[in-house]
Amino acid sequence: MNQDLRPIATFFNLIDEARPPQRADRAAMGTLPTRAYRYCEAVASASAYGWWIFPPMDFQIMWDGSDIFWHYDGAEDWLKLMPSSQFPGFSAKFDAAAPDELKGFSPPFLTALPEPGALQIWTGLMARTAPDWHLLLRAPANLPVPGGFTLYEGIVETDRWFGPLFTNLRFTRSHTPIRLRADFPLLQAQPVRPVDYAGETLAAMSVSGPLTDLEAADWAAYRTTIVEPNLNRDRPFGAYAVETRKQRRCPVMHRQPDHAVA
């Protein structure tokens, strides 16, 4: 491999106990129905798009309608966020490694946000991406997650902003403990380019209709996609998936300046 090629994303795992990010897989940890995995390329591709981010430890969270509490193995009782808590033992490790002017500024692990039932969770990571690449942080695609909360999605400009990689969640039920497991993805980080979500890009769309607006080329494409396969009794299953995989080119690693991702 060319030594000038660098990763699009580099994750800095600052908590020793935390599971490192890993490539999301097409089977969504084996939870996809077999038929979807084999024949639905759209679902499988979306499931694999990005990297899974895990909680840095097993712990539980609970909202009583007013305050947020958390608990982990070794804690004597439920701990109330006032409004933040550090990852156990991390602040001392941070101060031992950080320059003198940064000691005392370790990122909190959990923070109760001003909005009712809203919680910020630090993943234990920081990230840096290649120039003109950002990270979309969202719930894992097509992967069932524990109930009781929803995740806010966010796009972080990680090519210029270097700090704690966190997510915000909103409780959807109260007075019920919710367990987050260190071996089960909490987030999916997906690489996107600024041009992908720029206003000019998103404004470049149109809507046509009704049926009479469809032209001959449109009807021909519909016949190829929908009608012809259904007229062929001996058609193979998953023909679209097979054709898509044939046409898809292997991704090329992004070339970066020497001062970019280490």
Query: Which CATH number goes with the domain that contains 138?
Result: 2.70.40.10
What's the CA gap between 118 and 130, in Å, rounded? 31
Q: Check whether residue 236 and residue 112 sit in a common domain.
A: no
Supply the pLDDT for residue 111.
98
pLDDT digits (tens, 9 = 90+) for 115-164: 999 999 999 999 999 999 999 999 999 998 889 999 999 999 999 999 99
- Residues 144 and 240 grouped into a single domain: no
Do 179 and 220 share a domain, yes or no? no
Per-residue pLDDT averaged across 38-43, rounded?
Answer: 89
As a whole number, mean pLDDT of residues 166-174 equals 97
Residue 2 has pLDDT above 80, yes or no: no
Q: Are residues 30 and 61 in the same domain?
A: yes
Q: Is 247 left (phi over 0), alpha (psi -120 to 50) or beta?
A: alpha
Percent of the chain exceeding pLDDT 70 equals: 88
Domain around 62: 9-201
- Band (pLDDT 50/70/90 cuts) for residue 262 is very low
Compute the average pLDDT of residues 203-229. 91
46 with 120, same domain? yes
Tokens 């109760």 correspond to what residue?
A: 112
pTM of the model: 0.84
pLDDT at 3 over 90: no
- Whether 222 and 128 share a structural domain: no
Identify whether 81 is part of a domain. yes
Report yes or no on 2 lying in a domain: no
In a domain, 131, yes or no: yes
pLDDT band at 237 (very low <50, low <70, confident <90, very high): low
In this prediction, residues 213-229 reach a mean pLDDT of 91
Query: What local confidence, expressed as pLDDT, does residue 112 receive?
Result: 98
Instruction: Identify whether residues 194 and 238 lie together within a single domain.
Output: no
| Judgement on whether residues 50 and 94 belong to the same structural domain of the protein | yes
Shared domain check, 220 and 167: no
Q: 23-34, pLDDT tens digit by residue?
A: 999 999 998 898
User: What does the pLDDT read at residue 1?
Assistant: 45
Same structural domain for residues 39 and 82? Answer: yes
Is 25 within a domain?
Answer: yes
Domain count along the chain: 2
* Last-in-domain residue among 201, 219, 235: 201
Dump pLDDT digits (tens) for 48-89: 999 999 999 999 999 999 999 999 999 999 999 999 999 999
Interior/surface letters 13-34, b for 16+ CB within 10 angstroms, e for the rest: ebbeebbebeebebbbeeebee
Same domain membership, residue 219 and residue 174: no
Same domain, 116 and 216: no
Q: Is residue 228 part of a domain?
A: yes
Q: Which of 145, 173, 201 is the last residue of a domain?
A: 201
